[in-house]
Amino acid sequence: METIGSLIDKLSINELKIYHMREQKDRTDVDREFKQDCEKRLSILVMQRESLTDELQELMEAVLEGRKQMKPFRQMKMYNEKKYKD
């Protein structure tokens, strides 16, 4: 199950990809085929953003209404702990 944090992480990465794909699409030193490819990719990225946004909204509503509950997970790291050092 996705968490709110993992969806926000995916959305932030998606936004960076959208930003940079727009930059590539708007370049003046490339051919038309390259720009068309960038436009296709950009439309897919925008659809992905919409899907992720919808999923995040649904999950947040479910949590706020008490229909879903997030489980906290502790990090289990073995480094920098005296009892695990050689």
Domain ranges of the chain: 4-77
Taking only the tens of pLDDT, the chain with its 86 residues reads: 789 999 999 999 999 999 999 999 999 999 999 999 999 999 999 999 999 999 999 999 999 999 999 888 777 777 766 776 65
C-beta separation of 7 from 59 below 8 A: yes
pLDDT of the residue at 73: 78
pLDDT of the residue at 13: 98
Gyration radius of the chain over CA positions: 20
Rounded alpha-carbon distances, angstroms, from residue 71 to 37, 49, 60: 41, 25, 14
Place of tokens 């969806």: 7
